[in-house]
Structure 1
């Protein structure tokens, strides 16, 4: 009898240990393989309208030289100039190109429609490659159209030109390609072309220019941040257009930030004890938000925009933590593995459950900054009308925004089951 009892105890012991190992494997998935940037393709627009940025000592030359050099330190960078024809490869490497910025008249090409340039630039942002494009981003019809109708740029920018941009970036969005825009201003010394194609000589007037980084959003975000961290002159403004799709996966932590009485069961919160004598219930989830634009990852944005609704309960977000801010000294190995797979930890409090089960839905809507409206003008014939402004920039950026912000477009859409 004693022998049988001992055998039964050993059997239960090994079964329990074996079950624990199986749960570890099931609950803690192996970290996803991190993708890395391949080649960076750098494009400098060299139509005649860009010439004034390259004469004399200008912020433009300093920033472009810095961007090219720092990008090449991050990943190998190929160089091109682009205007009214196919991109022209630049030979001699980065150092030679930087020297040409100071010594060679580069901006001598014919103007080209912006959506056509974006098409050629974006064709290089395939796979894990990224494209960087530097331009004044002035929307314009071809010269022949302006000559026929001097007002065509102003009258049709909000329709034809905007929708040309929309069409091109909608194509990028379908391919999972996003974009980040960095905005600067620089003294301009040379010929400026108004929306009517009339020439005006400028001497040191401040003119905006823009640096676009185009490629897979999950690669663009980290690359841009690494690039900015190394730049001597940071951008004045930034705008991120994402194409990563709605985030729908999360990891439920079983001890981190836990309060109250509940259990984790297959990423659901179960066995919740409610009532006046029960402790408040709080639980934390991990989200990998690396594929979202940087502003959408900010604590202030998440607290202001994340909608948490429960069909049979009252739940609210109580804290947002970046992975690096989480204290791991008392965390189990299993939870540290979960944390390593995510960028953020969001903690929620269950204030009430009105039934035995509730479905918690978390939605993070896509919202874009609109600073570009103050950088835009529709009459650039005078210094007052164009200083620190770009003709029709609002319509260009609106076309891009509409390509990514469609219908119920969301950065995240998650559901979590809550059970008593």
Structure 2
């Protein structure tokens, strides 16, 4: 009996020690902090390379067909926008680097003798009657403007973006114009021009004759949309967008924008913020980091309530030649997994996430260890499914909804139909023509794609559970043996 009890005691102690060690090892693995990356010690800071950056030359083209006269009749929002734009251009690039032209069937030098600051005040239906203003071929205007783009220049076209077509089947004629627009930009690409085109929509007072697609001029006094097309080589547009781009949404009458580019954006730096602004408990998968950045996580515990999971992803989007207004518009993004929603997009400044309402969220020190790069934006994703799988999202270069909503096919009653006065005849055909050219040249449907791998918690206690069950069974077996031996002795 003593021998049996001794054997039982030894087995019990060994099992307790083994299970204790196994549980201890798991506790260490679970609570062990992420290894901090000492960027000052491990990464040598290279000597800064000084690159002489030439001042950009800005060429401003104003379409001056008769349909544009109404925008410069009196003190209009278009004039206000132009004056503020020229002030910003002069401040950034100096007046000597600003050229102003009028364009219709030809490009005409600016005959208005004044400095760029006062130029907008001098505009009137009489002062812009230069060249053949009776009609204009929008595709020919684009051809002229793109052919004048130089290595270090940016062209800005101010236009109502209205196709001039002959009488006939409107849809067929617009389709023909769309093909011609596509040809203009494909030709530029084939000739080696890797262009970026930023389209901005504005609204302005209009007092003049509106010419419908039948070329029937009718007096109109009210608000009308017009457009700016900012066109240039990728590198120059990137520089221009960084310096002047944030100003465009602040100009009077701003409504919308759309970026079209052949550039292959390289968004290489992004990391999951596993300890910042999260719901539920997540941790990086050890050994899976890429350039010290977290791309794979494990969800250890889901949150409670409506939102079971929330995480933030810090991304460096400084390479995108697009304004912050476009980047932070949630409607411009597409998610592959329906379990997730893009809840909010914030900007990152001085170690904080700053949201549109002014709220600041400090980034935890743990997460900063994985951010040895210049993160510009933070994306906050939510899910109501505790078993959500991998997350993939992209910034679309699809034509935005506002283009379709701003377009119409019949403008013959525009001057009396208030529902049509905020729309532009054939706009979606024009934008489609440009967009199709870029898509055909690049085969790209998004500006960037980001993928995050999400793993389910591994059952780290599996062995412990097995040994626990064996231990209980062993105890029960020993008790049964003892009872049976006692009964035998009796």
**Structure 1-normalised TM-score?**
0.70
Structure 1's 347 and 137: CA in aligned 2 closer, same or farther, altered over 3 A?
closer
Deviations 1:5-28 (A, max 9, x none): xxxxxxxxxxxxxx97798328x9
1:338 alignment partner, SS class:
coil
Q: Greater Rg, structure 1 or structure 2?
A: 2
Note the 1:27-106 alignment, pairs <5 A.
38-76=56-94, 77-89=98-110, 92-95=114-117, 97-102=119-124, 104-106=126-128
Deviations 1:203-242 (A, max 9, x none): 52443322222233534543554323653x1413333334
| Alignment partner, residue 226 of structure 1 | 246
| The one of 260, 269, 274 aligned to 1:250 | 269
RMSD: 4.5
Whether the aligned pair in 2 keeps the contact of 1:47 and 1:84 (CA below 8 Å) is no
Structure 1's 81 and 21: CA in aligned 2 closer, same or farther, altered over 3 A?
closer
Note the 1:239-388 alignment, pairs <5 A.
239-252=258-271, 257=276, 259-260=282-283, 262-263=285-286, 265-267=289-291, 269=294, 284-288=313-317, 290-291=319-320, 293-294=322-323, 296-298=326-328, 300-301=330-331, 305-307=334-336, 320-324=345-349, 325-326=352-353, 331=365, 335=369, 338-339=372-373, 341-346=374-379, 362-382=393-413, 383-384=415-416, 387-388=421-422
Structure 1's 330 and 272: CA in aligned 2 closer, same or farther, altered over 3 A?
closer
Matches of 2:245 and 2:211 in 1, distance apart?
Answer: 34
| Alignment partner, residue 205 of structure 2 | 186
| Alignment partner, residue 478 of structure 2 | none
2:43 alignment partner, SS class:
helix
Structure 1's 67 and 104: CA in aligned 2 closer, same or farther, altered over 3 A?
farther
2:129 alignment partner, SS class:
coil
Residue 42 of structure 1 and its aligned partner are, at CA, apart by: 0.9
Structure 1's 205 and 164: CA in aligned 2 closer, same or farther, altered over 3 A?
same
For the pair 1:159 / 2:188, whether they are aligned, the reply is no
| Alignment partner, residue 209 of structure 1 | 226
Residue 408 of structure 1 and its aligned partner are, at CA, apart by: 5.4
Note the 1:9-20 alignment, pairs <5 A.
none
| Alignment partner, residue 12 of structure 1 | none
2:254 alignment partner, SS class:
coil
Residue 395 of structure 1 and its aligned partner are, at CA, apart by: 1.6
Structure 1's 163 and 29: CA in aligned 2 closer, same or farther, altered over 3 A?
farther
Residue 134 of structure 1 and its aligned partner are, at CA, apart by: 0.9
**Structure 2-normalised TM-score?**
0.62
For the pair 1:400 / 2:431, whether they are aligned, the reply is no
| Alignment partner, residue 8 of structure 1 | none
Whether the aligned pair in 1 keeps the contact of 2:396 and 2:446 (CA below 8 Å) is yes
2:399 alignment partner, SS class:
coil
Residue 193 of structure 1 and its aligned partner are, at CA, apart by: 3.0
Structure 1's 229 and 33: CA in aligned 2 closer, same or farther, altered over 3 A?
farther
| Alignment partner, residue 10 of structure 1 | none
Note the 1:94-173 alignment, pairs <5 A.
94-95=116-117, 97-102=119-124, 104-110=126-132, 111-141=135-165, 146=166, 150-151=167-168, 154-170=170-186
Structure 1's 272 and 128: CA in aligned 2 closer, same or farther, altered over 3 A?
same
1:263 alignment partner, SS class:
coil
Structure 1's 260 and 95: CA in aligned 2 closer, same or farther, altered over 3 A?
closer
The more displaced of 126-135 and 84-93 is 84-93
Residue 44 of structure 1 and its aligned partner are, at CA, apart by: 0.9
Residue 94 of structure 1 and its aligned partner are, at CA, apart by: 0.7
| Alignment partner, residue 15 of structure 1 | none
Whether the aligned pair in 1 keeps the contact of 2:439 and 2:445 (CA below 8 Å) is yes
